[in-house]
Every structure is written in C-alpha cells, then in structure tokens.
A and B are shown apart, each in its own frame.
Chain A
Amino acid sequence: MYTLNEVLETIRMVQEENLDIRTITMGISLRDCTDSNYQKSCQKIYDKITSLAKDLVKTGEEIEREYGIPIINKRISVTPISLVAESSNADDYTPFAEAMDRAAKEVGVNFIGGFSALVQKGLTKGDRILIDSIPVALSTTERVCSSVNVASTHSGINMDAVYRMGQIVKECAQRTADKDGLACAKLVVFCNVPEDNPFMAGAFHGIGEPECVINVGVSGPGVVKNAVEKVNGSDFGTLAETVKKTAFKITRMGELVGRAAAKKLGVPFGIVDLSLAPTPAVGDSVAEVLEAMGLERCGTHGTTAALALLNDAVKKGGAMASSYVGGLSGAFIPLSEDAGMIRAAECGALTLEKLEAMTCVCSVGLDMIAIPGDTPAETIAAIIADEMAIGMINSKTTAVRIIPAPGKKVGDRVEFGGLLGYAPVIPVKEFSARAFVSRGGRIPAPINSLKN
C-alpha cells in the first residue's frame, strides 16, 4: 500500500505546486489529403481531423477526472501543410489554414499546429507559397500555428529563408498591430526541429510519424522549485539529484496520462515530452526555479550554469521514467509566459544577450520575446541567424518566436492574455546587419555534421 507521505506528496504537487499535464496533442497525418483541386483537399483535411479528433477533448476531460490531475491543453498537430498543399492548384495556402481553423473549432481544441515547411536546404514551390501565405493565414485565423525549419546541423542555415522569415515576422506583426502583433506569437522559426513535439506553436506531425499518435507534454516548474527550496544550501550534487528525482515523478504522471489517453482513443502512444514549461501564474515559473538555486534575479551571472544543471537533471530524471521521451524535453524559457522572467526583464537583469546565451543550454530558444516595433526585418533575420547558428553548431534544437510589437518602444508592454501572458519590450542592437543577411545562399553545415 501507499504511505501517507506519498499520497500527500502527489496531492500537494497538483493542488499547491501547479503540477499539470500541459498538453495532450494528437498528431494526425494528412498525407492522404492531397488533391489537385485545393478545395477538395481542404475538405479532406477538415473531414479527417474532425473524425479522428472528435473525442480528443472529451477523453482528456475524462482522464482529468479519473486521475485528479489537470490537463491544460488538448491540441492537434498535422503533417506540414507545405507537403499536403503542394500538389494542389492553389497559389495561396490561406484556405488550408482556414480549413484547419474550422476543424480545430469543431473539435474544441485551442490550437492546431502544422502550417509548416521544412526548408533547411532549399525551397520547393509549395514551401515558397506556404511561407508567403503565413502573414495572412495567421492574422485571419484564430487557432492555427505555424513553424518553419530553416536550419539543421546536417544542412547548414538557409540564409535566404532566414531573411524571408525576418520579413514574414514583420508582416505578421503589422497585420495584427491592433493585438500587439499576436500573429507572431503563433509563428516559430526552427533549427533541428523535432517531429514529435507536442508543444505549440512549434508542433507538427513529422513525416516519419505514424498515421495518428498521442504525444504528451508534462510540466511542473512549481514542483521543481519547491523541491529545490527544500535542499537550500546543499551542494550541487544534491541539488541535481533532487531535480532528477522530481523530474522522474513528473514524467511518470505524463506517461500514465499519455498511455491512458492513447488507449481510450484507440491510437498509438508516441512520446512524453518532459519539459518545464512555465505559465504566467505565480509559482509556475522556470525563472523562479533558477532563483531558488541561489540567484538574486534570473539573468544575472550564473544563470546559464544554473539553467544547464536544471535542463540536464530534468532530462536524466525523465529518461529513467519513460522509455519514450521525446519532443523538446528540457526547460522552456519563454519570456512573456513566465512571471519570474517578466520581472527579471523589467528590472534589466535579463537582456536579449543573456537570453541568447541561456538558449545554448535550454531546450528551445528565444521564445515570446517582444522587441521594438520599428526593428528592421534585417535585424530580426540576424537575430534568427544567431539562434540558428547555436542550434546548428551544437546539434540541438533552437527556435525563435519574436514579436516586433507594432508602435511600441523599449519599456512598453505587450499583452496577449491567457497562457501567452505579457512581456516588456526589450532593446535590440541598433547597428545594422543588412549587408550580412542579404548576401543570400546557405551557411554551410559544420564539420560535426559529417558523422556518417
């Protein structure tokens, strides 16, 4: 039987420390939804999503009740639309985004990911149309998320795509100027993108994935923070061990929920993504975990080392708890979604340069960062290029989700509400990178790509 302490520990994790299953994401292959007539293709997409995911939300709620653990988001990811839409006669893929949006509304999920393209080595016709369609697609739909992979360790960095994405980000911001550039919050630029990531906005259903799959993302920064606080003053070995044990417990919960959801829905179970993903709620912050380790403010000297320890210990604990850990497992450091990060940025402890350094050891990258609205596309492209270079050289995933907030200056604030939170606008360098990013072509893959 169970000891009283074990039972109470689980209850406390859920009720006081905000342990939750952050997302169950159903991945759906749309490869059989191609058609030369784009309207027919869109209809097939709508029909397939609504039939496979019709019970997703209901099943999630059932599991929440049975196990007493909240599941915050139920979401869908689909095959990158550039692959599905390419054989159609459409010269604008916005209708595909609209079909996804309608399907998402019909089944009741709050986001659907996969308005995506993989262009690390070059662009096909479909990739080009998709990228050109992003600003309109994201500003006219509500729930569609988009991602573009522009670099990888094996292919290098497609700088033409990087430059283009700098312009796309600007256009997305301008088209949603009345909402602080909300469309940018639904768009991620990736290096080494994982194909089984259940977290938005970067989720899509990779081409190596099965027909339909359930991936789960677990999160518990509050739980980790409390555990870290309990070993206050102890050495690093003890600290890492504590985080590891906590991560183990959190991941087990994710595995249980993922398996239960997959079984109820009659689809295979994919992966548990064990990530410390914050929310704007107090006590649910990655920055606060770092501060509990002994930093006065997240962003001060020592932050990168603290984050490296945290990220690694989380992965080690998770690897023992589930045989199928995947996605982006590790610590997320989105600025606007984390109360501690927001506070650190507002008091100047956390800057873009420090965030960039932290992305070398975290699981994703520059995430949900608001910069001045008059930042040129070339500068945004250069920020993307820097981040892609970190991912490429270090064989890790990196991403950029950045918001040039229309009409806003340093010190102003953007508000997105809900899980997306709010962020202070932080400064970027004023010196131009135009001549650099407009060279065109591809930055060659590094020598460590020659592993075969």
Chain B
Amino acid sequence: MLDKIIAEQPSNRIIVTVIGQDRVGIIASVSGVLAQNNVNILDISQTILQGFFAMVLVADMEKSTVDLGGLKEKLNQLGQGLGVKIDAQHEDAFRYMHRI
C-alpha cells in the first residue's frame, strides 16, 4: 500500500523548519542558501509562537546541486550564525504521520 504511494509520487520535497528568537533577515538568509543550491521554494508559512519565530518551508530538491545531507549542513551553519535552529527533513516524515 505504502509502496504504491512511494512509487506513484516520487517526492524530492523537503520541509525546512526554523525555530528561534525573531530577528530581521531570517527568511532572506534561508531562502538565499536554498537559491544558491538551486532548491526551489514551493510554500512558506511563518508565525510568531509565544514570542518565538517559527517558519515552515516546503521546497523541491529535484534540481538541487547538493544532497539532503549537504544542505542540512549548510542550513545548520546558517542557523548557528543567526541564533536559530534550522532543520531540513524529507517530506515523507510529515506526510505519513499526518495524512492517511
């Protein structure tokens, strides 16, 4: 059943999450790193949760110039510079947990 879904919808999509203290330039920096590596942004939603900045970004890695591990590393470094926590995970981790 799941095999079929995986076969039908080959997904190169990732979800990038940013959580931390709000400041100017977070979205610009994250989208900058994605653009440099040819990762296409599909959707961004962002809010302030209990004083914390929280952003969820869906992106397509189809034509990416780095693999997910490499991208995670770059985002991680960026996050340390900005003082926020940036994660990138394969979309399936969210798709299977929340969608039947």
Contacts and interface: CB of A to CB of B under 8 A. Distances in A.
Interface of A: 1-2, 4, 6-11, 65-69, 249, 252-253, 255-256, 259-260, 263, 323
A71 to B, nearest CB: 12
B84 interface: no
Contacts of B89: 66-68
Given A4-B54, A66-B89, A259 B3 contact: yes
B40 to A, nearest CB: 14
A255 B43 contact: no
A255 B96 contact: yes
B96 A7 contact: no
A7 B58 CA distance: 11
Nearest to A323: B1
A4 B47 contact: yes
B28 interface: no
B45 A6 contact: no
Interface string B41-55: 011010101000010
Contact of A8 (B54, B88, B93, B97): B54
A323 B1 CA distance: 9
Contacts of A66: 68, 89-90
B69 interface: yes
B2 to A, nearest CB: 5
Interface in B70-100: 72, 87-90, 92-94, 96-98
B38 interface: no
A65 B45 contact: no
A65 B19 contact: no
A41 B88 CA distance: 46
A123 to B, nearest CB: 42
B34 interface: no
Contacts of A65: 68-69, 72
Contact of A256 (B17, B49, B56, B92): B92
A11 B2 contact: no
Interface in B13-61: 15, 17, 19, 42-43, 45, 47, 49, 54, 56, 58
Interface of B: 1-3, 6, 15, 17, 19, 42-43, 45, 47, 49, 54, 56, 58, 68-69, 72, 87-90, 92-94, 96-98
A142 to B, nearest CB: 31
Nearest to B72: A65
Nearest to B5: A259
A6 B93 contact: no
B87 to A, nearest CB: 6
- Interface hub of B42, B54, B90 (most chain A Cβ within 10 A): B90
Contacts of A69: 93
A2 B94 contact: yes
A7 B17 contact: yes
- Interface hub of B72, B87, B97 (most chain A Cβ within 10 A): B97
A1 B98 contact: no
A253 B96 CA distance: 7
Given A68-B87, A259-B3, A1 B96 contact: no
Contact of A2 (B58, B69, B88): B58
A325 to B, nearest CB: 13
B94 to A, nearest CB: 6
B2 A256 contact: yes
Given A7-B15, A65-B72, A252 B97 contact: yes
Given A7-B15, A7-B56, A11-B87, A256 B96 contact: yes
Nearest to B45: A4
A7 B94 contact: yes
Given A1-B58, A68-B87, A259-B3, A10 B97 contact: yes
A6 B3 contact: no
